[in-house]
Each structure stands twice: as C-alpha cells, then as structure tokens.
Amino acid sequence: MKKVISVLMAVAMLFSVCMLAGCTDNTTNNNEETSTDEDVSLTATSGSMTATEGVLVMATNAAFPPYEYVEGGEFAGIDVEIAGEIAKKLNMKLEIKDIEFGSIVGGVQTGKFDMGMAGMTVTDERLESVNFSTSYATGIQVVIVAEDSAITSLDDLKADGSMKYGVQQDTTGDIYASDTVEKGGYGEDNVIRYKTGADAVQALIAGKVDAVIIDNEPAKSFVAANSGLKILDAEWAVEDYAICIAKENSKLLDAVNNALADLKADGTIDKIVAKYISAE
C-alpha cells in the first residue's frame, strides 16, 4: 500500500512539473514541424526572402543556349551568370534546378522554387500566376527553315493547314503561333509542340515540320550546330525577358529588381551578354 501511494505521489509531482514547464505531447510537436507546400510558399513573407534562408533557388530549362545550357556537367549561359551575380548581391548561394519550361511558373507559384529564369517573356497569362522583375534582356523570335525550303520570307508562312510549325511547348513561340489567324497566329492545328527547342529543330531536319519558331539566339546556336538550316531574315516577334517570382514574395521581387538595377548601372549585364552574343 505504501508503494502504491508513493507511485501516485510521484506521478502527481511529475504532472505538476509538466504543467509548470509547459509540456506538450509529441504528436503536436511533430505536426508543427511538418512542412507542406503551402508552408514553403509562405516562408518568404515571414522573415526570409527565400524558402531556405541564404539559398536562392532558380528554376530554368537548360536547353536554351546561350541563355541556359549544360557544358561539361555545369550550368552555363547568360541567365545563369546574371542569376549568379544577383545571388552575390543578396549574399546568397545560387542553386539551379533544371526542369521542363512549362513547369517553371507553377513551381515558382507554389514556392517550390524562389524564382524562374529561362529566357522568359512577360505575358498576361503568366501574370495571373506570378509577378515579374524588370526586364534584363530583349528577345527576338525568328523562324528556322531548311536551306532549300520554299519558305523564303514571313509572307510565305500560312495558316491553311498546309504547313506545320514546330515550337517548344509553353514558350511565347507556342503561345503566339497557336493563336487564331485573327490574332496573328497560325491556328492550333498547325502547331506541333516539343519539350525543347532542340527537339523541334530535329523534327525540322527530319521533315516532320516545315519551320521552327524560336528565339533568335538559340536559333543561331541550333543552325550553327546543324547543317542545311537557315534563319529567315526577319523578326517574327520582339519581346523582353524577365524573372518570375511568387506574387506574395514582394520582398524578393524588390531585392531582385534592386540587384538588376545595380548590375545594369555598373555594366555587368552588358558584359555577360557580350560574352555570349557578339555584336552584329
């Protein structure tokens, strides 16, 4: 009986200590420490500008030379170097994730990535999901055809079903080309989408499409690497490149815009672009 009383007194004392110390059960602690996608997307508004403090995660599609590509197992290109300079300005470590182009905006929107940088143009549709930085480069859309093609100018491009146009899926080339004729496109049925620009070019070489619509600088790289191709001597569209950032992350957006302003003012961006693109 004395042993039972002693045990009960010990339990009571332990309970009192826990109450004074503010003890909680392990289940509650584990739940509080569990991170969800929603938690990640809100991190930037509660202290750090990025999901992981001190790390800037950039999503890209590294098949878009000279803006982003892989060389010798390392990421290279205009966007890669500019992102590196931005990270330095923010005293952060840059981490690059190579994903499909069409997944970049969604990944940034949900907080999986801090920003997206992949020769990306600002469009009304994308602005519904993310915000964009100030522009850091100008992109020109052009048309690649076979050297012996009957297509010799933009006027030869038709939307009557007799021609097929290869594009990289979800790019502005895709968006514009697949639009209606009334809006300057060639119609959904005339456009064939590929995961990368390189895939679209290979389809052109194989005769599966009549032309490829893509940004000028990647176009020059693809034509240089594949004989029998040429770029039509005309601009199909002109647009500005910018960096996409989650809508709720105004802190990172402001920081990136300030960094870009500094990099423009001191000539860093011009030097990086000149390293990859020769003046014509």
Q: What is the CATH number of the domain that holds 90?
A: 3.40.190.10
Number of separate domains in the chain: 2
Burial code of 217-230, b = ≥16 C-beta within 10 A, e = fewer?
bbbbbbbeeeeebb
Is residue 7 in a domain?
no
Q: Which residue has the tokens 């030379």?
A: 65
In the predicted structure, residue 22 carries a pLDDT above the cut 60: no
Is residue 25 in a domain?
no
Joined together, the tokens standing for residue 206 give: 């194989």
Joined together, the tokens standing for residue 32 give: 């509080």
Give the pLDDT of residue 13. Answer: 41
- Residue pair 58/95 in contact (Cβ under 8 Å)? The answer is yes
Strand order in the sheet with 68-71: 63-64, 68-71, 74-76
In the predicted structure, residue 68 carries a pLDDT above the cut 70: yes
Residues in the chain: 280
Largest CA distance in the chain: 104
Strand partners, 144: 212, 231
CA atoms within 13 A of residue 139's CA, in its CB half-sphere: 26
207 Rama class: left (phi>0) / alpha (psi -120 to 50) / beta = left
- For residue 240, count CB atoms less than 10 angstroms from its CB and return exposed for 0-12, middle for 13-18, buried for 19 or more: middle
pLDDT interval class at 47 (50, 70, 90)? low
Q: What share of the chain is helix, strand, coil (3-state, %, to 5)?
A: 45, 20, 35
- Judgement on whether residues 85 and 153 belong to the same structural domain of the protein: no
- Judgement on whether residues 99 and 222 belong to the same structural domain of the protein: no
**SS3 assignment, position 244:** strand
What DSSP designation does 157 have?
-
- Residue pair 273/138 in contact (Cβ under 8 Å)? The answer is no
Joined together, the tokens standing for residue 266 give: 């001191």
How far is Cα 27 from Cα 48, in angstroms, rounded to an integer? 27
Round the average pLDDT of the chain to a whole number and report it.
Answer: 85
Higher pLDDT pick, 30 / 262: 262
User: What average pLDDT does this structure show over 218-229?
Assistant: 96
Is residue 18 in a domain?
no
- Judgement on whether residues 58 and 176 belong to the same structural domain of the protein: no
**Domain of 87?**
48-136+242-276
In the predicted structure, residue 29 carries a pLDDT above the cut 70: no
H/E run at residue 175:
helix 172-177
- Residue pair 143/232 in contact (Cβ under 8 Å)? The answer is yes
User: What average pLDDT does this structure show over 127-132?
Assistant: 97
- Judgement on whether residues 117 and 73 belong to the same structural domain of the protein: yes
In the predicted structure, residue 143 carries a pLDDT above the cut 90: yes
- Judgement on whether residues 81 and 147 belong to the same structural domain of the protein: no
How much is the pTM? 0.75
